[in-house]
Amino acid sequence: MRRDTLTLQARYVFPVENPPIEDGVVCIQQGRIGWVGPASDRPGDLDLGNVAIVPGFVNAHTHLELASLDSQKTQGNLERASRTGSEDEVAWLRRVVDQRRKGSNQTLKESVGHNLKASIEAGTTLLADTTTAGLSWEQVAGASLRAVVFAELIGLKRYRGLQTSDAAWNWLATIRPETQVAACARPGLSPHAPYSTSEWLYHKAAGSRLPLSTHLAEMPEELRLLEHRDGPLRQFLEDMDAWDEDWEPLGPRPADYVRRGELRDADWVIAHGTYFDPSEFWQLRPEAAPNDHRVAVAFCPRTHARFGHAPHPYRAMLEKGVVVCLGTDSLASSPSLSILDEIRFLHHRDPSLSGELLLTMATLFGAWALRAETATGSLRPGKAADLAIIPLPDRSSADPHCLVLESDEPVLATVFEGDFVTGPWMGI
Ligand SMILES: [Zn+2]
């Protein structure tokens, strides 16, 4: 039977909104955080030992239905990757489309189940999933985490856009608050990307008043298509029979897709955002969104590295006040669905980046982007006790964040609303 109160003790507690606490405790009362502080003030009921307690991670961009492509890698891709150290993204897109076309709903749902489990084991307690016509909804809504499930809208050709929007709205019609499998999951819509999704679908999505997500400023080929209507993406679309001769971009710049007219009247999570021009950053600041609407960039570091892009401007964006959170993207482009792996990767590449900032991007900024910061994202009394427990190395460091970041120990346990949902303390 669940205890009403449980106080967890750990070598370090990272509240995120306050400095790390050595020998700290988190007091859980009926699934919520009741108190956070030093064990000297209030000893724990359960000493977890040499671990860190951090808020559960927020994965602000993934596709649970996609599996790894690496077993299908063609010789040409492998040769190109070994020559350049990176992979051609348009060629990769062809392989993703191929995987999806070959996959039945059953195989896609199997991927969702597997990837959902891996996400929770990796300490994820809030997740943004982009899925075909709400396919992942029941599995995600029934799992021990919070989520926003974005149904994908795609199509430059009118009939294709109608197919995907009909499928998405049919799914939305099945969701009623009173029959919702879990109160912790919310539906959203995702116009896929400017190169694949026509203008009217973006406007229709914005009119839904649901949270929205889109891939934007993802690759140079996208900018070329928006400016000149040609290049490798046009060739890709023609080869897929998806090109529409009459297509006109919503605007010449990626920011037009989230900032023009009524498109500003929505919450947007922008996946990637690598190729925004610095002159567009101001449009991505929270202040630029009217009526408390939100806009945030979900940077996916290891996916970004895979394709050999220009450096991601996340540091410049953060300095300009843009909220940059983190995503893994899917297993088709990332080796795991762990946000901890993503921040360790960033720390390894750039040790000058503050560990405090990385942890904030991995938790609180993602919670804000998904409008869940009052419920989760930091260890503050009143929020849900959504936690990740991370083993620490047997050494000390002037900055305790380095103990978390300079290690390859995976998350040991995940706590959702006060219950251990993975790891050795399940059932306590
Ligand atoms: Zn994506």
Q: How far is the CA of 78 from the centre of ligand 1 (A)?
A: 22
In a domain, 395, yes or no: yes
The answer to whether 414 and 389 have CB atoms below 8 angstroms apart is yes
Q: How far is the CA of 330 from the centre of ligand 1 (A)?
A: 7
The reported pLDDT for the residue numbered 428 is 84
In a domain, 177, yes or no: yes
In a domain, 269, yes or no: yes
Residue 372 has pLDDT above 70, yes or no: yes
Residue 89 has pLDDT above 90, yes or no: no
Instruction: Return the amino acid letter for 272.
Output: H
Q: How far is the CA of 62 from the centre of ligand 1 (A)?
A: 6
Q: In terms of domains, do 292 and 415 share one?
A: no
Band (74; pLDDT cuts 50, 70, 90): very low
Q: How far is the CA of 378 from the centre of ligand 1 (A)?
A: 25
Residue 70 has pLDDT above 80, yes or no: no
Q: In terms of domains, do 172 and 315 share one?
A: yes
Q: How far is the CA of 184 from the centre of ligand 1 (A)?
A: 22
Angle among Cα 39, 41, 46 to the nearest 5 degrees reads: 35
Q: How far is the CA of 214 from the centre of ligand 1 (A)?
A: 8
The reported pLDDT for the residue numbered 290 is 76
Q: How far is the CA of 83 from the centre of ligand 1 (A)?
A: 25
Report the C-alpha gap between 233 and 248 in whole angstroms. 14
Instruction: Return the amino acid letter for 410.
Output: P
Residue 177 has pLDDT above 90, yes or no: no
Q: In terms of domains, do 105 and 152 share one?
A: yes
Report the C-alpha gap between 256 and 166 in whole angstroms. 25
The reported pLDDT for the residue numbered 79 is 42
Higher pLDDT, 331 or 68: 331
Q: In terms of domains, do 308 and 395 share one?
A: no
Q: In terms of domains, do 248 and 155 share one?
A: yes
Q: How far is the CA of 221 from the centre of ligand 1 (A)?
A: 16
HEC secondary structure over the chain: CCCCEEEEEEEEECCCCCCCEEEEEEEEECCEEEEEEECCCCCCCEECCCEEEEECEEEEEECCCCCCCHHHCCHHHHHHHHHHCCCCHHHHHHHHHHHHHHCCHHHHHHHHHHHHHHHHHCCEEEEEEEEHHHCCHHHHHCCCCEEEEEEEECECCHHHHHHHHHHHHHHHHHCCHHHCCCCCEEEEEEECCCCCECHHHHHHHHHCCCCEEEEECCCHHHHHHHHHCCCHHHHHHHHCCCCCCCCCCCCCCCCHHHHCHHHHCCCEEEEECCCCCHHHHHHHCHHHCHHHCCEEEEECHHHHHHCCCCCCCHHHHHHCCCCEEECCCCCCCCCCCCHHHHHHHHHHHCCCCCHHHHHHHHCHHHHHHCCCCCCCCCCCCCCECCEEEEECCCCCCCCCHHHHHCCCCCCCEEEECCEEEECCCCCC
Q: How far is the CA of 284 from the centre of ligand 1 (A)?
A: 19
Q: How far is the CA of 1 from the centre of ligand 1 (A)?
A: 40
In a domain, 427, yes or no: no
Residue 253 has pLDDT above 90, yes or no: yes
Band (75; pLDDT cuts 50, 70, 90): very low
Q: How far is the CA of 170 from the centre of ligand 1 (A)?
A: 23
Domain that holds residue 35: 5-55+378-422
- For range 46-51, the mean pLDDT: 98
In a domain, 257, yes or no: yes
In a domain, 428, yes or no: no
Q: Which of 27-31, 62-66, 349-353 shows the lowest per-residue confidence on average (mean pLDDT)?
A: 349-353
The reported pLDDT for the residue numbered 180 is 53
Q: How far is the CA of 156 from the centre of ligand 1 (A)?
A: 18
Q: In terms of domains, do 62 and 45 share one?
A: no
Q: In terms of domains, do 17 and 66 share one?
A: no
Q: How far is the CA of 268 from the centre of ligand 1 (A)?
A: 14
Q: How far is the CA of 217 from the centre of ligand 1 (A)?
A: 12
Q: How far is the CA of 218 from the centre of ligand 1 (A)?
A: 10
Tell which of 369, 387, 409 closes a domain.
Answer: 369
Task: State pLDDT tens for residues 331-351.
Answer: 999 999 999 999 999 999 999
Q: How far is the CA of 213 from the centre of ligand 1 (A)?
A: 10
Q: The domain spanning residue 162 has which CATH number?
A: 3.20.20.140
Tell which of 343, 369, 395 closes a domain.
Answer: 369
Instruction: Return the amino acid letter for 45.
Output: D
Q: Kindly list the distances between the CA atom of residue 346 and the CA atoms of 6, 277, 350, 360, in Å, as whole numbers in the listed order.
A: 34, 22, 6, 13
Q: The domain spanning residue 394 has which CATH number?
A: 2.30.40.10
Q: In terms of domains, do 37 and 185 share one?
A: no
The reported pLDDT for the residue numbered 2 is 61
Q: In terms of domains, do 214 and 356 share one?
A: yes
Report the C-alpha gap between 304 and 184 in whole angstroms. 30
Tell which of 331, 350, 369 closes a domain.
Answer: 369
Q: In terms of domains, do 234 and 359 share one?
A: yes
Q: How far is the CA of 61 from the centre of ligand 1 (A)?
A: 6
Q: In terms of domains, do 218 and 341 share one?
A: yes
Q: Say how many domains are in the chain.
A: 2
Q: How far is the CA of 208 from the centre of ligand 1 (A)?
A: 21
In a domain, 330, yes or no: yes
Angle among Cα 251, 257, 261 to the nearest 5 degrees reads: 85
Q: In terms of domains, do 338 and 210 share one?
A: yes
In a domain, 141, yes or no: yes
